């Protein structure tokens, strides 16, 4: 069975109503994704990531992802920043990328990461430093 959805509700760059028919499974998945996005944004607002050495790098993702503007330039800027961060994370080796993501996106402490991976905190810190250095080169 087909369900009619409004793409404007799911994509911020739609400025007018755009109705399309999709299957029930696709509509249910899009609604679940929308709920997940709202939950994620709420968690980012509640658990802001602060860093003494914050600059225009990975630490800015929390504020970049919470853009609630109707300004197309602001939305494009947020999308561009998000794409650049994803690209930089994908360039890192898998282990290093996972550690950077856990620390700066999911907000886990160095101790939590070390404990979950069964390695020393110093190796996590070194990996994070190398990962951020590589990402800064990309930016």
| CB neighbour list of residue 34: distance below 8 Å, 6 or more residues apart | 9, 10
pLDDT of res. 88? 81
Indicate the CATH number for domain 52-139: 1.10.10.10
Q: Which two tokens stand for residue 82?
A: 């998000």
Q: Is 91 helix (H, G, I), strand (E, B) or coil?
A: helix
CA distance 117 to 114: 5
List per-residue pLDDT tens for the chain, 139 residues long: 899 998 888 877 778 888 999 999 999 998 888 888 888 777 776 766 555 455 544 545 545 455 556 677 777 777 777 778 878 888 888 889 889 888 988 889 999 999 988 999 999 999 999 998 888 887 7
Q: What phi, psi does 64 have (nearest 5°)? A: -65, -40
The domain locations on the chain are 1-46, 52-139
pLDDT of res. 68? 59
Q: Is 38 helix (H, G, I), strand (E, B) or coil?
A: helix
pLDDT of res. 56? 47
Q: Which helix (H) or strand (E) holds 96?
A: helix 94-100
């Amino acid at each position: 069975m087909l369900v009619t959805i409004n793409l404007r509700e799911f994509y911020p760059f739609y400025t007018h109503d755009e109705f399309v028919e999709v299957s029930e499974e696709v509509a249910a998945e899009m609604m679940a994704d929308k709920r997940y996005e709202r939950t994620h944004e709420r968690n980012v607002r509640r658990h802001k990531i602060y860093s003494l050495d914050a600059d225009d790098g990975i630490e800015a993702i929390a504020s970049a992802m919470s853009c609630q503007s109707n300004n197309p330039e602001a939305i494009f800027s947020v999308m561009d920043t998000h794409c650049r961060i994803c690209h930089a994370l994908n360039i890192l080796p898998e282990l290093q990328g996972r550690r950077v993501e856990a620390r700066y996106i999911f907000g886990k402490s160095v101790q939590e990461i070390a404990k979950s991976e069964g390695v020393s905190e110093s190796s996590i810190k070194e990996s994070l430093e190398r990962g951020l250095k590589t990402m800064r080169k990309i930016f």
